[in-house]
């Protein structure tokens, strides 16, 4: 376990150690979330590094990462806990076979059996319950609740309870409370609004597309094989694309993918043909590709070359 960062600069440096390049405002939100022991709620477009934050935090702080991937219909038995029915059944059969519990045995024996089969031994812990357990070194884990907007409202209401007290009530067993609150990162792609009550418990940060300088820094770290000139042109091109009215703008993930694709093609700089032929690494809708391919790509590329020549 590594100690929590003690300043905003310290937080940014911690993330940079795992090649995550954070804006000052994100480092601030994260520092405060850690210091105030509050969940951090990250909203933003796809591929801008929301999920990555939790992974990087767990890595650099040497904590266990507990991930709850949300989806429509996510329920308590997948998110919190479930009784291990097959094992419970076997236990009952064994008790019957050994004669400990049968028609003739008393109420006390049956009561004891039902207590036994609803003990922790028969409990299957799912992510939210796992996140309440500290590691062997006593460190609380990092809990990533990813893409919360995909679940439905009843689940959100349940989550609210867990996030308020960091405890889970199991009717047959009692209440399980975290010794130490986990570090919680919640992400959403904003396909719907998350309830105010959940947001109120969290610190909120909108993760935006990076500016050119930050995106270049990300590329230097994530695609170190790319020529400097190529990276500069890619960043300038992508930054221009993001100003266009496209159905789906490219995220950082796409910029990294495109760069890796161009490196695989041994490109040292962009040219119109290569751009046209590799747009699929950057844009994922045929309409968007259709709009950019050809004359638009050529125009953007001319702007990019001119910008870099005068820089
Ligand atoms: N600021 C950053 N520094 C370094 N790498 C980044 C940064 N932002 C994004 N990336 C990289 O971009 C990729 C996508 O990031 P991630 O999966 O976290 O995006 P996301 O916001 O969770 O997207 P989605 O909404 O699609 O799940 C990762 O490989 C990550 O390393
Ligand atoms: Mg994600």
SS3 20: coil
Query: For position 237, what pLDDT does the model report?
Result: 98
Residue whose CB lies within 8 A of the most ligand 1 atoms, among 29, 51, 60, 213, for a mutation test: 51
Q: What is the pTM of this model?
A: 0.92
Model pLDDT, residue 78: 95
Mean pLDDT, range 225-232, rounded to an integer: 96
Q: Decide if 122 contacts 58 (C-beta within 8 A).
A: no
Mutate to test the pocket of ligand 1, among 24, 48, 68 (most ligand atoms within 8 A of CB): 48
CA of 113 to the centre of ligand 1 (A): 50
Q: Work out the burial of residue 267: count CB atoms within 10 Å of its CB; fewer than 13 is exposed, 13-18 middle, 19 or more buried.
A: buried
Cα–Cα distance measured from residue 283 to residue 237, given in angstroms and rounded to the nearest whole number: 13
Q: What pLDDT band is residue 89 in, cutting at 50, 70 and 90?
A: very high
Quick: pLDDT tens for 180-189: 999 999 999 9
Q: For the segment 120-141, what is each residue's pLDDT rounded down to a tens digit?
A: 999 999 999 999 999 888 899 9
CATH number for the domain formed by residue range(s) 8-72+136-207: 3.40.50.300
202-211 pLDDT per residue, tens: 999 999 999 9
Cβ–Cβ under 8 Å, residues 185 and 52:
no
- pLDDT at position 51 is 98
Task: Report whether 269 contacts 230 (CB < 8 A).
Answer: yes
Pocket lining: 46 vs ligand 1, CB cutoff 6 Å: yes
In the chain, where are the structural domains located? 8-72+136-207, 81-123, 212-306
Q: Is 155 in the pocket of ligand 1 (CB under 6 A)?
A: no
d(CA 161, CA 44): 25
């Amino acid at each position: 376990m590594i100690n929590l960062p003690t300043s905003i600069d310290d937080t940014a440096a911690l993330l940079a150690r795992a090649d995550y390049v954070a804006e000052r405002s994100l480092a601030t939100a994260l520092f405060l979330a850690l210091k105030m022991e509050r969940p951090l709620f990250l909203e933003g477009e796809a591929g801008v590094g929301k999920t990555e934050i939790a992974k990087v935090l767990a890595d650099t702080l040497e904590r266990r990462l507990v991930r709850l991937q949300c989806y429509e219909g996510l329920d308590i038995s997948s998110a919190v806990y479930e009784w291990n029915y097959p094992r419970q059944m076997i236990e009952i059969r064994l008790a019957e076979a050994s004669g400990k519990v049968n028609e003739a045995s008393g109420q006390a024996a049956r009561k004891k059996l039902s207590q036994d089969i609803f003990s922790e031994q028969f409990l299957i812990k799912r992510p939210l319950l796992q996140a309440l357990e500290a590691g062997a070194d006593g460190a609380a884990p990092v809990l990533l609740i990813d893409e919360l907007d995909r679940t439905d409202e009843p689940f959100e209401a349940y989550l609210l309870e867990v996030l308020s007290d960091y405890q889970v009530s199991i009717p047959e067993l009692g209440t399980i409370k975290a010794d130490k609150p986990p570090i919680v990162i919640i992400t959403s792609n904003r396909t719907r609004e998350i309830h105010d009550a959940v947001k109120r418990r969290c610190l909120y940060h909108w993760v935006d597309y990076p500016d050119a300088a930050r995106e270049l820094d990300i590329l230097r770290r994530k695609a170190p094989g790319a020529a400097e000139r190529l990276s500069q042109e890619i960043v300038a091109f992508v930054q221009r694309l993001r100003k266009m009215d496209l159905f789906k703008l490219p995220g950082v993930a796409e910029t990294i993918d495109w760069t890796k694709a161009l490196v695989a093609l041994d490109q040292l700089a962009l040219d119109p043909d290569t751009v046209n032929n590799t747009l699929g690494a950057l844009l994922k809708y045929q309409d968007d590709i259709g709009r950019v391919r050809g004359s638009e790509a050529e125009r953007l590329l001319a702007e990019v070359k001119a910008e870099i020549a005068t820089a």
